[in-house]
Amino acid sequence: MESKLPDVGVTIFTVMSQLAQESGAINLSQGFPDFDVSPQLIDRVTHYMQAGYNQYAPMQGVPALRAAIAAKVEALYGGRYDPETEVTVTSGATEALYAAVSAVVRPGDEVIIVEPAYDAYEPVVRLNGGVPVFVPLSFPDYRIDWDTIGRRFTPQTRALILNTPHNPTGTTLGAADIAALEALVGLYDFFIICDEVYEHIVFDGRSHQSLARFPMLWPRSFIVSSFGKTYHATGWKVGYCLAPGVLTREFRKIHQYLTFATSTPVQMALADHLAASDDHLALADFYQAKRDRFRELLAATRFRPLACEGTYFQMVDYSAITTEADTVFARRLTTDFGVAAIPPSVFYHDQRDDHVLRFCFAKHDQTLEEAVEKLCRI
């Protein structure tokens, strides 16, 4: 059988996590927290399971959760979304991204992807017959070159995929980026798919520049986010998509045939928790302390941390240690020194290698300390 994705194998996250397990290494590769979910949130899930909320949820998501999402977005960003027609709950952010791309990309359409990029973007574009057009971030500051993006636009350009805060680099969109994006919107007719799953993890007093804030941008945008990163519950796989009604109608046509509906008791519990608690507002301070501690520990190593404005990932330059390819060094780091990281070259279509690694610092301090103790031996 001829493969539709002949050059796609198992994701790097699976590969490195499996290698870490086989080697007994500390896993700072895959981006999942090792913190407990709030007991109050667990209690609400249990409550709804015991109360009989165990059948299919509405395809678009339970009304209470959609209303809570809309209220949060308006409170934080000023964007007003109708919970009935413009908010859709999905089985994780990756499903939402798949549905958003599938809703608008047709065979032959070009989609601009900023690299390094989360590895789900390109395959989804290709599966829908689209043509990925890649624009690299600058190194080592990982900023978007908007002039280059502008030059990549053609009559076939259908969409631009953005991610802020950005995985894997930890950079964020600022005022100049938004102004440049608005200028492109004034020149070209295209859709924006913006991955904002780390929206609450932004550091050093910055504000998350959600596209929901900007009247020129949200009418043509699918904004994707997730509860997994926010509530330390990545295994629950609950995300959502914000989009104007005309886009949401097309989005839901795809969503209903992907997963149809998402876990009912979990949705009900998230609705209660989001309405009753603002602990998502404390997430930035929590993770900034983790970032600062990790960077402080790394000062004793030969790794050089790059700037980190958000997410729970730290990019580090290892060029003072070796000239090995990042894929080779990441494997050796795991098997020989007992710490697993992600080699970012896998997030580039041409496997560009800047001799950096990505560590996840969403771990207990003791785990980070033990990992850096091992890194000090290199």
User: Would the pTM count as exceeding 0.85?
Assistant: yes
Q: Would you tell me which CATH number, out of the four given (3.30.930.10, 3.90.1150.10, 3.40.50.300, 2.30.110.10), belongs to the domain 12-30+281-375?
A: 3.90.1150.10
Q: Which amino acid appears at position 179 of this protein?
A: A
The label of the residue with tokens 């504000």 reads 207
Would you state the pLDDT for residue 127? Answer: 96
Is residue 9 pLDDT above 80, yes or no? no
User: May I ask the CATH class of domain 39-277?
Assistant: alpha beta
Asked if residue 305 has pLDDT above 80, the reply is yes
Q: So what's the pLDDT on residue 6?
A: 83
Mean of pLDDT values over 190-211: 98
pLDDT at 80: 97
280/233 Cα distance (integer angstroms): 13
Residue 2 pLDDT = 84
**DSSP one-letter string for 34-98:** -SPPPHHHHHHHHHHHHTT--SPPPTT--HHHHHHHHHHHHHHH-----TTTSEEEESSHHHHHH
Residue among 335, 307, 280 nearest 170 (CA): 307
User: Tokens for 297?
Assistant: 């520990």
Model confidence at 330, pLDDT cuts 50, 70, 90, reads very high
* Residue 311, both tokens: 């997410």
At 239, give phi and psi (nearest 5°). -130, -170
Radius of gyration of the chain (CA): 20
Do 353 and 279 contact (CB within 8 A), yes or no?
Answer: no
Q: Which helix (H) or strand (E) holds 27?
A: strand 26-27
Q: What is the pLDDT of residue 87?
A: 98
Q: What is the pLDDT of residue 14?
A: 81
The first and second tokens of residue 249, run together, are 């109608």
Residue 294 has pLDDT above 90, yes or no: yes
**What is the total residue count of the chain?**
378
* pLDDT per position as a tens digit, 128-185: 999 999 999 999 999 999 999 999 999 999 999 999 999 999 999 999 999 999 999 9
Range of weakest confidence among 1-5, 163-167, 180-184, 307-311? 1-5
β-sheet bridge partners, residue 88 = 241
**Intervals of CATH 3.90.1150.10 along the chain:** 12-30+281-375
- 230-278 pLDDT, tens digit per residue, is 999 999 999 999 999 999 999 999 999 999 999 999 999 999 999 988 8
pLDDT at 8 over 80: no
pLDDT at 339: 95
How many whole angstroms from its chain centre is CA 67? Answer: 23
Encoded tokens for 56: 């299919």
192 pairs with which residues across the strands? 160, 221
Model confidence at 30, in pLDDT bands (50, 70, 90)?
Answer: confident
The lowest-confidence range among 24-38, 115-129, 139-153, 214-228 is: 24-38
Domain(s) labelled CATH 3.40.640.10 in the chain stretch across 39-277
Contact of 358 with 347, CB cutoff 8 Å: no
